[in-house]
Structure 1
């Protein structure tokens, strides 16, 4: 029984905190019977009923005084009840009792449906509780409409920022995200806050989740606040290009270049422009002009050293070099510039790391400890491409055949893809101790260093800036580049894996890394999965007795001189057709081929442009439609060459001087084939014509390729793995011997 006002309320509070809601409710029921006009008692009793699961009774209790209120008191009491419940909801949120807080706030929404801050808090709680299905009901809540009435909305800016961050981090691909972000933007008086939230989210959406269209749409919203934010424009250009919206990607890259002031920014803007032009294909004049400008700015940058750069600009230095070997085969000149840029990159990364207290390469390793007899070498592989990617398809066999008794394998997935990718899943299961990592180079290097890796293998070279950063930090005593591209030129890398053919004999003269030549081949595979073909000659309106040539490469590799050779072959071989396949801007690449065909006197009706297919296995099966595959130059096929040879199809390739111009050469030699290897432009045309006219020669090559599956080094992944392991052991011995 209530005998003392202070004592009973104090006792009720104790019951409440002890979650003895029944006893506390009984006290408030008695209080209401004694003092029915004390409104706050109804608020407490209703809350206690709600916490006992009696929602209808709670609502009736709250409404009892409100329904009897006059107009003057109605709004006052409604607000008073709302604030009372809000205080309790906030207390529960601080205690991380999110389900209880969510329940209270739902009833607050019944009381004042349009309170924007409460709606945002409810949504935050939904996200924390992973109740994502409620997002489908947001249109019924009128949330976006409320946000759009900016003048009449009193919003908590910190809460809005927290909600947006949680939304974009938790369910970034939900259909309502774009509309919600658009409605929230006008409330950001600090544009940097908005920039920080959106850029972080779009990097994940565009790269990790591989949704570049949504990522570009979000960044376009930010441009409303800052139309000339160069950082936003850089990423927007990339996402446009990744979404195959090449024209906008090119125009955005041009805008980046016009707004760039420093030399490092200009280098990256030119890279973005080349990336767009070359991915689209068919823009050869602009490509050459842009490449020349890039080389000029590279030279200016080298001459202007030292230039103090922050991390973002440092990371962008190396990747722009990727375009140049696609355009010309001049490795001596190319590496003279590139190696200097790589040295600057390496030094800047080391300085940056030292400023943050990281300096792995200065840690002295106790080599006596490492001389332990029968020591199991720790081998680390680092890459962003261990998934449905050329590197992912080709690297499988070394992981499958590694001798786990002698080697402890660690694999570092850079920017691990949060998507369903069966090849990535295969690596997670088969690649030893796996680490699913993000895009922070220092954190990745720290992980490698803590794992005490003996030999770190870089599978990306300069194709990913984050991997280049990790290698420059030197977290392992021996560092090697293999497979992903040409050597990076980073001084912190000790060796570059090659073979007797893929680099000329004098290549060491212009490589900073020690070239480690394996005895036969720098890559081997046990084979490829082949599906059911979806291409038939009759579907392409090609006669059954025609000679079919094929070139399957992306727009990056389309060079006008090589295309002229191909057209001259088609012209000289009667009843021949040319199939063209590869990622590019459809109209641009057609214009490119049609123009050269007309200039060389080839009827454009003999050209066929093939669509992409969703499965790699089907792509390989479809190669069977071709009698001869014509390789690209100065940048050969690599995975496509291996697939062509595995399918037993004759190939014509032009051998050059650089790594990219000798891939097909080494693969053909290691498959036991010399027919089709051309050392001059004229030989390329001669081989193409000869193979087109000589069906018996084609059959002989096909037979040899079929037989080679049992005997050739190119198709022996296990033997190749033993050679790689032998190389690792020799590298380790050299390291211990100093």
Structure 2
């Protein structure tokens, strides 16, 4: 290329950049295609066209263009970072990691490449490496908001809730309006017994006053309603292969379509088979993923929704800011989050008297609590569940306790109590199953915590889990007795354990997440397995472990017991829910 050609190319690039700033992407793309066809092409032209291809989801074409960029400019860290992103989309994770690593070798202060590599390591369950990478980045750039936030997420995924809380607070110090950090902090507070119920509620009220929950402008949202059926909208990011789907599917299936018209508002990035199943169980399906909050609110209001029900609370992918626009006259939260939202725009929260006894809980909610007569939820057992088999103690000669809960729930306090159980039941073992246990550093930390309590590593089996639902449930065939976590009890895991014939011993506490076990077990006729103190928890474990004949009988009759329980009475629970919803609608229409 001559000097004159090079000058013309640079002039063309400046024009392309002007087009991009003006949002004229198609014309910019055409110009870049011309520049890339030149021999040799301009590296910047290859890079910019690759970025546009990547934004359009053309990952392979983007990767090819970035490879050309790097053949011309091997030290281009931006191109290496973009190549890592394209290769990640193509599932070529080792090559992606190599691209990010090379960018960091050239420029250790390149925060974006560091974060992208850490996210890749986290996705691969290599938490220890991800943590080290992020901490090194923070040493280089102590005020980095994104590095601090991602470190908090990596800590939380490992079950280190207190450290995660500290990192989320630091993120919010750097940016008080960081919505994801604010909500992740609220969620993380529930895992440790060190935070009181009142402290957690105060944090929710603080979050509700933050800018993300206070829209800059409120729209006058028209709400046409043709009359007739009550229009109920369910809004969730979890209309997919997720625990929430197991609890909303039976309700969608059983709704009385003569009285209710059901809309689902899906904030789902990657739909799957469960998404398509749920889509077929509602009258109207709306995809709101990527839609701005005020536009989603306008859509909901335009649909004439009478009662809008949030199924996520402050969990990942939620759209609580949509509710702050007040798109429906009655707004309710249910199932997906174990606490108040703190939002004045959320009118009600659905629960039951076991999970939220009347009294203190009413005063620690910004919503009115609506208690269903029996249970706050109903469960849909997986069709892939394997058949029941005798408890493993029959062949092992010893008792195996187990917990398949989120590792964030397995706090040092939980491990201390479980260690007392293992000491109380001679020769017993514990099977702990959770995805983060694929990481050697995480495994070492968990085993060290047990060793501090005098439990030898040989009595603890750590399993990273299985991909398929059937394979996951088959692991309950290795467990005699389930041990619940506290103060954050299991929900889906408890239901799965009971369906697989495994009794679960739960420690009841002073908040919804600490009483979910009490609600589920009591509704299954197993209130005796709900304990009120750590000493009673240990004694109950000892008693259940001692009576092996009862364990065999329990497992044999487990599914019939659950089928007779309110937990699987989808039609009955849905009628109870509908009674409450109809009363809410009638109340809202009174002058």
TM-score when scaled to structure 1?
0.66
1:566 correspondence with 2:418? yes
Aligned 8 A contact 2:372 2:576 in 1: yes
Structure 2 SS opposite 1:318: helix
Within 5 Å, give how 1:350-429 maps onto structure 2.
350-351=215-216, 354=217, 359-360=218-219, 362-363=220-221, 372=227, 375-417=228-270, 421-429=272-280
* Deviation of the 1:576 alpha carbon: 1.8
Aligned 8 A contact 1:673 1:705 in 2: no
In the TM superposition, what whole-angstrom CA distance separates every residue of 1:556-587 from its partner, at most 9, and x where no partner exists? 12111211221221222123221111111432
Aligned 8 A contact 1:319 1:465 in 2: no
More helix per residue: 1
In the TM superposition, what whole-angstrom CA distance separates every residue of 1:128-175 from its partner, at most 9, and x where no partner exists? xxxxxxxxxxxxxxx9xx7xxxxx534683x86345423552433x4x
1:327 correspondence with 2:212? no
State the match for 1:662 in structure 2.
515
* Deviation of the 1:593 alpha carbon: 3.4
Structure 1 SS opposite 2:314: helix
Aligned 8 A contact 1:555 1:589 in 2: no
| Aligned partner (choices 281, 289, 297) of residue 430 of structure 1 | 281
Distance (whole Å) between structure 1 residues aligned to residue 506 and residue 484 of structure 2: 5
* Deviation of the 1:187 alpha carbon: 8.8
Distance (whole Å) between structure 2 residues aligned to residue 213 and residue 404 of structure 1: 50
Distance (whole Å) between structure 1 residues aligned to residue 206 and residue 91 of structure 2: 33
Relative distance call for 1:216 and 1:588 in structure 2 (3 A) is same
State the match for 2:27 in structure 1.
none
Distance (whole Å) between structure 2 residues aligned to residue 343 and residue 554 of structure 1: 30
Aligned 8 A contact 2:352 2:373 in 1: yes
Relative distance call for 1:552 and 1:289 in structure 2 (3 A) is closer
| Aligned partner (choices 45, 48, 58) of residue 161 of structure 1 | 48
State the match for 2:331 in structure 1.
479
Distance (whole Å) between structure 2 residues aligned to residue 203 and residue 459 of structure 1: 33
Long gaps (5+) in structure 2: 6-29
Within 5 Å, give how 1:59-208 maps onto structure 2.
117=33, 152-154=40-42, 157=45, 161-162=48-49, 164-172=51-59, 174=60, 177-178=62-63, 180-184=65-69
Distance (whole Å) between structure 2 residues aligned to residue 580 and residue 387 of structure 1: 26
Aligned 8 A contact 2:158 2:442 in 1: yes
Within 5 Å, give how 1:562-601 maps onto structure 2.
562-585=414-437, 586-601=439-454
Aligned 8 A contact 1:386 1:392 in 2: yes
Q: Which piece of structure 1 moves more, 631-640 or 429-438?
A: 429-438
In the TM superposition, what whole-angstrom CA distance separates every residue of 1:51-109 from its partner, at most 9, and x where no partner exists? xxxxxxxxxxxxxxxxxxxxxxxx9xxx9xxxxxxxxxxxxxxxxxxxxxxxxx9xxxx
In the TM superposition, what whole-angstrom CA distance separates every residue of 1:223-280 from its partner, at most 9, and x where no partner exists? 789865666765664453233231243245446766464xxx85x7655333212322
Structure label with greater radius of gyration: 1
State the match for 1:440 in structure 2.
291
Instruction: Give the number of the structure with larger relative contact order, counting CA–CA contacts within 8 Å between residues 6 or more apart.
Output: 2
Relative distance call for 1:697 and 1:330 in structure 2 (3 A) is farther
Structure 1 SS opposite 2:528: coil
Report the number of matched residues: 556
Distance (whole Å) between structure 1 residues aligned to residue 322 and residue 87 of structure 2: 20
* Deviation of the 1:343 alpha carbon: 2.3
Long gaps (5+) in structure 1: 1-74, 80-104, 106-114, 122-142, 147-151, 302-306
Aligned 8 A contact 1:383 1:412 in 2: yes
Within 5 Å, give how 1:685-696 maps onto structure 2.
685-696=538-549
* Deviation of the 1:685 alpha carbon: 1.3
Relative distance call for 1:452 and 1:693 in structure 2 (3 A) is same
Structure 2 SS opposite 1:608: strand
Distance (whole Å) between structure 2 residues aligned to residue 654 and residue 455 of structure 1: 35
Q: Which piece of structure 1 moves more, 236-245 or 493-502?
A: 236-245
State the match for 1:341 in structure 2.
207
Relative distance call for 1:343 and 1:577 in structure 2 (3 A) is same
1:728 correspondence with 2:581? yes
* Deviation of the 1:732 alpha carbon: 1.2
Structure 1 SS opposite 2:241: coil
State the match for 2:569 in structure 1.
716
State the match for 1:244 in structure 2.
125
| Aligned partner (choices 448, 457, 461) of residue 309 of structure 2 | 457
Aligned 8 A contact 1:346 1:472 in 2: no
Distance (whole Å) between structure 2 residues aligned to residue 384 and residue 337 of structure 1: 23
Aligned 8 A contact 2:388 2:555 in 1: no
Relative distance call for 1:624 and 1:336 in structure 2 (3 A) is same
Aligned 8 A contact 1:631 1:654 in 2: yes
Aligned 8 A contact 1:549 1:629 in 2: yes
* Deviation of the 1:719 alpha carbon: 1.0
In the TM superposition, what whole-angstrom CA distance separates every residue of 1:150-209 from its partner, at most 9, and x where no partner exists? xx534683x86345423552433x4x7545435437999xx99989x969x969977xx9
* Deviation of the 1:393 alpha carbon: 2.2
Distance (whole Å) between structure 1 residues aligned to residue 383 and residue 49 of structure 2: 47
* Deviation of the 1:432 alpha carbon: 2.6
TM-score when scaled to structure 2?
0.81
Relative distance call for 1:511 and 1:390 in structure 2 (3 A) is same
